[in-house]
A = this chain, B = another copy of it.
Amino acid sequence: MGTHSADEGNRSTTDLQLIDCDVHQMWAHPDEVVQYLPDHWTGRGIDVPTTPWPSPVGLMRDDAGPDSGAPAGSDPDMMCEQHIEPYDIEYVVLNATGMLTLGVTPNEHYAAALASAQNDWLVEHWLETADCFKGGLVVAPQAPHRAAEEIERLGDHPDIVQVQMASVGRTPYGRREHWPIYEAAAKYDLPIALHIGPEGMGTSPPHTPAGYPSSYFERHALTNTSLMGQLTSMLLGGVFEEFGTDLVLIEGGFAWLPYLRWRLDKDWRGLRDQTPWIDRRPSEYISEHVRVTTQPLPEPDDPDHLRYMFEMIDARETVLFASDYPHWDADDPRLAFPPLEDDLERRIFRENAAELYGL
């Protein structure tokens, strides 16, 4: 759990109004999801790439698994008791553990079927069991037309608040082959959410052109690169301009955003002949359409550096609180943040998410 310097932070829960934009639910057993698959796909459980970077600390909080031995995050009641009620969280946005690598599965037909099964499970086992649960509709980016059909199928469910895709698919997300997804998402006014995880797995190239990182530590530091690539592709490809799409970048940090905002703005002056469909400076699109989640929150020695960072990236509009419960490095909203101006704190902890998701 993230903690900031000892003499700062330490909010009481009653100070905070919270929407948690990244909580991971899990099935107790794969059959919970497999039951929704067409028969011809049911033989092998759920077969998507799993991480080849073992973590020395595991991936989940040891205390977050039910006594039954089922995975952490698989019991809605326990999630409420352990996380949602103690922090008095108004809504959590569920992003399913176990489906983050669906986008790098080579078989796009299987990926699309699995996404639909996952969404049926999400609706029945989670969204319809408590008012605080909101969910991301999982789609397979490597099958764009199937993804659009899935959005048509469930996009108007009142508790579906975004379309969730793996942070990497087969090609960068700004390219035209993905536009049916954005057209459907726009019809239902749903943001596109990308969650890091599948970089370097399945059909994905490594995290950087330097090659595959060695350790979980090295890999964990470089999960942001997929988000840099997708943001740049979607912006310069014209997705924000064409569809008014909002893009949520989850768990890949944000302290790289000054680099991209400034570089894109400077290059736009000299190179925009290549993107005549981009009418405004790239940083304006980013402030208007791109949202980033906080966990894992950086903890610079000087808390002012985090405040400068928030200023540089227009955090009053762009930053959303996320805990990443029940992962090992989840952030505690009472401890992780240094003191912030009241208005900025309200924007990050609740209002930016409420506006984005219409809550």
Interface residues in A216-238 by Cβ distance below 8 A to B read 216-218, 220-222, 224-226, 228-230, 232-233, 236-237
Task: Contact check, A298 vs B229: say whether CB atoms are below 8 A apart.
Answer: no
Taking the nearest CB of chain B, how far is it from the CB of A303, in angstroms? 12
Contact partner, A174, options B198, B214, B328, Cβ 8 Å = B214
Q: Which residues of B contact A210 (CB under 8 A)?
A: 167-169, 172-173, 226, 229-230, 233
How distant is the Cα of A174 from the Cα of B256 in the complex, in angstroms? 22
Whether A32 sits at the interface, judged by CB under 8 Å, is no
Given A209-B199, A211-B172, A211-B205, are A216 and B274 neighbors across the interface (CB < 8 Å)?
yes
CA distance A275 to B214 in the complex (A): 11
Binary flags per residue of A171-184, CB closer than 8 Å to B gives 1, else 0: 11111000000000
Which residues of A are at the interface with B, using a C-beta cutoff of 8 A? 2, 55-57, 167-175, 198-200, 204-218, 220-222, 224-226, 228-230, 232-233, 236-237, 253-256, 258-268, 270-275, 296, 298-300, 305, 308-309, 311-312, 328-329
Give me 4 other A-B pairs in contact (C-beta within 8 A), A205-B208, A217-B268 excluded. Answer: A171-B211, A254-B259, A259-B259, A266-B296
Q: Is the CB of B305 within 8 A of A271?
A: no
A54 to B268, CA, bound (A): 16
With a CB–CB cut-off of 8 A, which chain B residues contact A305?
Answer: 258, 308, 311-312
Contacts of A300 on B, CB cut-off 8 Å? Answer: 258, 261-262, 312
Smallest CB separation, A177 vs chain B (Å): 11
The CA-CA distance from A308 to B168 in the complex, in Å, is 32
User: Across the interface, do A266 and B2 meet the contact criterion of CB distance under 8 Å?
Assistant: yes
- Quick one: which of B168, B207, B260, B299 contacts A262, CB cutoff 8 A? B299
Tallying the copies of this chain within the complex gives: 2
User: In the bound complex, what is the Cα–Cα distance between A220 and B275 (angstroms)?
Assistant: 13
A329–B168 Cα distance when bound, in Å, is 31
21 contacts between A and B (CB under 8 A): A2-B266, A57-B270, A168-B209, A172-B213, A172-B214, A205-B205, A205-B206, A209-B225, A210-B226, A215-B236, A217-B268, A221-B232, A222-B228, A261-B300, A262-B299, A262-B300, A266-B296, A270-B328, A305-B308, A308-B312, A309-B312
CB distance from A102 to the nearest CB of B (A): 15
Residues in B neighbouring A209, C-beta threshold 8 A: 167-168, 198-200, 204-207, 225-226, 229
Instruction: Name A175's contact: one of B214, B217, B311 (CB within 8 Å).
Output: B214
User: Which residue of B198, B262, B271, B312 contacts A55 across the interface (Cβ within 8 Å)?
Assistant: B271
